[in-house]
Amino acid sequence: MRSGLLQQRLTGLFVLGLLLFNFPLLALWDRDATVLGLPLFPLALFIVWALLIAALAWLMERAQD
């Protein structure tokens, strides 16, 4: 993969992370609900965080090919 394309994808992933962890979208998850006994808000935060890390790992591993 070309370095410029990788840089654009990493920048896009960074911007996506900023948007997902910004107040208006975080307010969507702030409810008094539980999923499998776990509060929805922290569960959503950890899932989004894990997905961003997985996407970053996928991009970096793909760049080595």
Domain boundaries, the chain: 3-63
Q: What three-state secondary structure class fits 58?
A: helix
| Res 1 pLDDT > 60 | no
Residue with tokens 């991009």: 59
CA distances to 14, 19, 22, 60 from 27, rounded to whole Å, are 20, 12, 9, 31
Residues 6+ apart with CB under 8 A from 29: 40, 41, 44, 45
- Tens of pLDDT along 15-50? 999 999 999 888 888 889 999 999 999 999 999 999
Identify the pLDDT of residue 65.
67
| Res 52 pLDDT > 90 | yes
The pair phi, psi for residue 30, each rounded to 5°, is: -85, 80
Identify the pLDDT of residue 58.
95
Identify the pLDDT of residue 64.
73
